[in-house]
């Protein structure tokens, strides 16, 4: 017999399939006969679906007492079911959470992609910059004169790792500038040399440092044979034969202390006349220029302010006010004072007033000299020296003049008859042509 469930071959009379474990129906009993099970008969009504004879199943022989078993229903072959198509697995409608590992993998993958894109653009951006630098360097190299184009090596695109080494190569490849060594200084003593300066030229004795036969460094020079006929002495700094730097000079009764350039006072200078300070301030190539103070003998400050081309910078009103204040302390030049002035009897620095008509005069520029016929009991000459202000009118020969100033010494001159004359010298502080 065969199992009606799986088709496995079974021994006759088997009630269960040894393959699938399902119960199988035994041989069909004869019609109207009910099988006897256990010690007594048990009627069984066959199902309506069973047709054909029913075979009686004899009871199993037992050597001893047989335990009572529950009644067993007779089996009949059930109708073979009509199977439809194999059932389809229904789709899962619930949402399952993706594992965290998958999410981390996605995030890492996206980050790597973005990093790769950024690196790509940064790399090509740097490459473009290096290309532009290369083009600029090639243009600059092409503009160098012949023979110097190799002074700068051509730049090539390079990575960050080689940038430092390439820069070092560029710096070291430039040819070193030749350093010219100057001849050593020599020291001479009372050597006769000739100088050519903006101040004066001529031969004289020099003691100090020289280079290539010219005063250079610290030294002193005494003019012996001047082209201008002047006698002077200079000590201080020299540069290639010129008086340049700190020093001092004695010229006639003038002394200059301070800074010089090309032989002329230039910078902060102090001017001393006959042992008294007459000017302290700035000079530019021998001229009073900039801030300064002007003194009269006796340390009398007569002007403080700006100077321009040796002249005072002030308005007419400022000059009048300053002059009137000074005139208040002046005394009249009389015969006794005039005699004292000729004898230089303790009169230097005396503030005096004079008046009269000019007898003679020099060119009136930034300064001017006038020989005035001063009227007292009798007339006698006096020399007036004046420093003009910027835009101040000049003294004229035919005009009456009233002046106030300070006695500074004596003045020698040649009069109208050709004779040598001498008179008191007065430095004017203020003057007026009003009668």
CATH classification at residue 391: 2.40.50.140
Q: In the 8-state DSSP scheme, what is residue 2?
A: B
Encode pLDDT of 174-227 as tens digits: 555 655 667 788 999 999 999 998 899 999 999 999 998 899 999 999 999 999
Domain boundary, last residue among 257, 286, 312:
312
**Position 114 in a domain:** no
CA distance 16 to 105: 56
**Position 50 in a domain:** yes
Q: Are residues 251 and 196 both part of a single domain? A: yes
pTM: 0.57
Confidence band for 233, pLDDT divided at 50, 70 and 90: very high
Domain that holds residue 216: 186-312
Q: Are residues 367 and 406 both part of a single domain? A: yes
CATH code for the domain in which residue 306 is found:
2.20.110
Q: Are residues 256 and 198 both part of a single domain? A: yes
**Position 357 in a domain:** yes
Domain boundary, last residue among 39, 55, 71:
55
Q: Are residues 231 and 257 both part of a single domain? A: yes
Q: Are residues 263 and 306 both part of a single domain? A: yes
Domain boundary, last residue among 279, 312, 345:
312
Q: Are residues 213 and 257 both part of a single domain? A: yes
Q: What is the pLDDT of residue 81?
A: 41
**Position 397 in a domain:** yes
Residues 6+ away with beta carbon under 8 Å from 299: 276, 277
8 A C-beta contact, residue 242 and residue 197: yes
Bridge-partner residues for 208, per DSSP? 188, 219
Q: Are residues 234 and 346 both part of a single domain? A: no
8 A C-beta contact, residue 152 and residue 136: no
**Position 230 in a domain:** yes
Q: Are residues 344 and 306 both part of a single domain? A: no
Q: What is the pLDDT of residue 147?
A: 41
8 A C-beta contact, residue 14 and residue 57: no
Encode pLDDT of 29-43 as tens digits: 444 444 444 444 444
Q: Are residues 308 and 387 both part of a single domain? A: no
Q: Are residues 303 and 334 both part of a single domain? A: no
Q: What is the pLDDT of residue 101?
A: 65
Q: Are residues 346 and 300 both part of a single domain? A: no
Considering only residues 52 and 274, tell me which one the structure prediction assigns the higher pLDDT.
274
Mean pLDDT of all residues in 285-312 = 94
Encode pLDDT of 301-332 as tens digits: 999 999 999 999 999 999 999 999 999 999 99
Q: Are residues 221 and 305 both part of a single domain? A: yes
**Largest pairwise CA distance in the chain:** 200
- Residue 264's nearest CA partner among 235, 286, 237 is 286
Q: Is the pLDDT of residue 380 over 60?
A: yes
Q: Is the pLDDT of residue 152 over 70?
A: no
**Domain total of the chain:** 3
């Amino acid at each position: 017999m065969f199992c009606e469930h799986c088709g496995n071959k079974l021994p006759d009379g088997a009630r269960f399939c040894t393959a699938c474990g399902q119960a199988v129906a035994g041989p069909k009993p004869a019609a109207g006969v009910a099988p006897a099970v256990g010690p007594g008969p048990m009627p069984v009504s066959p199902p309506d679906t069973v047709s054909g004879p029913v075979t009686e199943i004899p009871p199993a022989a037992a050597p001893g007492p047989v335990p009572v078993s529950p009644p067993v229903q007779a089996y009949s072959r059930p109708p073979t079911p009509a199977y439809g198509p194999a059932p389809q697995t229904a789709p899962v409608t619930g949402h399952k959470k993706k594992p965290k590992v998958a999410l981390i993998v996605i995030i890492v993958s996206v980050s790597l992609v973005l990093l790769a894109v950024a690196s790509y653009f940064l790399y090509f951006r740097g490459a473009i910059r290096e290309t532009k630098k290369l083009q600029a360097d090639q243009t600059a190299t092409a503009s160098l004169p012949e023979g110097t184009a190799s002074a700068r090596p051509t730049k090539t695109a390079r990575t960050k790792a080689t940038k430092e080494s390439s820069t070092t190569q560029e710096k070291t490849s430039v040819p070193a500038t030749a350093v010219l060594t100057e001849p050593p200084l020599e020291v001479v003593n009372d050597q006769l040399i000739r100088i050519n300066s903006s101040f004066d030229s001529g031969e004289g004795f020099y003691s100090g440092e020289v280079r290539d036969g010219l005063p250079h460094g610290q030294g002193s020079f005494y003019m012996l044979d001047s082209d201008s006929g002047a006698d002077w002495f200079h000590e201080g700094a020299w540069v290639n034969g010129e008086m340049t730097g700190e020093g001092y000079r004695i010229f006639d009764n003038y002394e200059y202390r301070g800074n010089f350039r090309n032989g002329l006072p230039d910078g902060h200078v102090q001017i001393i006349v006959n042992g008294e300070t007459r000017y302290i301030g700035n000079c530019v190539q021998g001229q009073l220029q900039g801030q300064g103070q002007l003194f009269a003998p006796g340390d009398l400050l007569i002007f403080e302010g700006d100077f321009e081309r040796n002249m005072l910078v002030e308005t007419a009103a400022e000059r009048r006010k300053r002059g009137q204040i000074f005139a208040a302390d002046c005394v009249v030049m009389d015969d006794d004072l005039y005699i004292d002035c000729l004898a230089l009897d303790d009169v230097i620095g005396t503030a005096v007033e004079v008046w009269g008509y000019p007898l003679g005069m020099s060119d009136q520029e930034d300064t001017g000299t006038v020989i005035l016929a001063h009227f007292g009991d009798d007339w006698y000459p006096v020399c007036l020296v004046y420093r003009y202000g910027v835009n101040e009118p000049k003294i004229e020969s035919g005009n009456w003049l009233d002046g106030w100033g300070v006695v500074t010494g004596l003045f020698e001159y040649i009069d109208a008859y050709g004779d040598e004359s001498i008179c008191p010298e007065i430095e004017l502080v203020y003057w007026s042509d009003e009668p």
